[in-house]
Amino acid sequence: MNASHIFRSFISILLLLFICASCEDRPSKGAYDSQQKDAMVSIPSTDHSDPPQIPTTIERIRQIYDSTITYLNAAKMDSVRFPYHCGDEKSGEISFYSYQGTLRLITHKYQEYDHHHAEDQFFTIDSIPYFIFKRQTLWSFETGPEGSTKDDVTEHRIYLLDQKPVQCLKKKFSIHSKSPGSINPQKEGSTKITCPSKLIEEFKAILSYRHEAAHCPEVPRVKI
């Protein structure tokens, strides 16, 4: 074996040792992932953290909303209901839903006279609201087969961060009894609107009846 060959072999061994030493100094993929997770803002999973932290983004609001609906549909929430009647003009029911001891949802269903009924839903983590859904229905008779009616529906979706509305959407559609199934509310588009004020005052008024029923609760109306 000549000197040139020996020299090349020696250089190859040195390079191999250098590469191996470099590999030992570089963090593994798992360690890198762990460091990245530690550096990120902690966002608890909707499946493993309950009660969740107050949401700080609209995307997080949607996630917590979905988990609350899942609990509700699976009948995993405790509820307390307070029906009320205000003479012949208005009647309704306020319901409080809790999961593992934490208030997660308040609903207020009410009707006035014969042609109007509505439902307000306040999604909350204990006493902090993060999403409000309002649905109002006005029905009337219309031409067509006997007894044909039309429901004019208006829905509002209000996203709140730090108890302040940051995005408000409005959706309107009509449902006709003579053509059931012709309208799919899920596919109807929404429009952005100016967020109303005094939503928190309305929420606090509803919340005040959590432990005590009222013959005719006084709840401020928020015009949207």
Q: Are 97 and 104 in contact (CB under 8 A)?
A: yes
Q: What is the DSSP letter of 93?
A: E
Dist. CA 193–CA 33, nearest whole Å: 41
Report angle CA 153, 158, 59 to the nearest 5 degrees: 120
Output the CA torsion 188→190→191→194 (10° steps): 140
Confidence of residue 222 (pLDDT cuts 50, 70, 90): confident
CA distance 96 to 103: 7
Task: Please report, for the chain, the start and end positions of each structural domain, with discontinuous segments joined by +.
Answer: 3-39, 58-207
User: What is the per-residue pLDDT for 115?
Assistant: 80
The per-residue pLDDT for range 157-183, each reduced to its tens digit, is 999 999 999 999 999 999 888 887 777
Interatomic CA distance for residues 52 and 66, integer angstroms: 12
**Contact between residue 156 and residue 167 where contact means Cβ atoms under 8 Å apart:** no
User: What's the pLDDT score for residue 145?
Assistant: 87
- Of 7-11, 81-85, 197-201, the range with the lowest mean pLDDT is 7-11
Give the residues across from 109 on adjacent strands: 93, 119
H/E element, 97 = strand 90-99
Asked whether 116 and 137 are in contact (CB, 8 A), the reply is yes
User: In the chain, what is the straight-line distance between the N-terminal and C-terminal CA atoms, in Å?
Assistant: 92
Q: Is 100 helix (H, G, I), strand (E, B) or coil?
A: coil
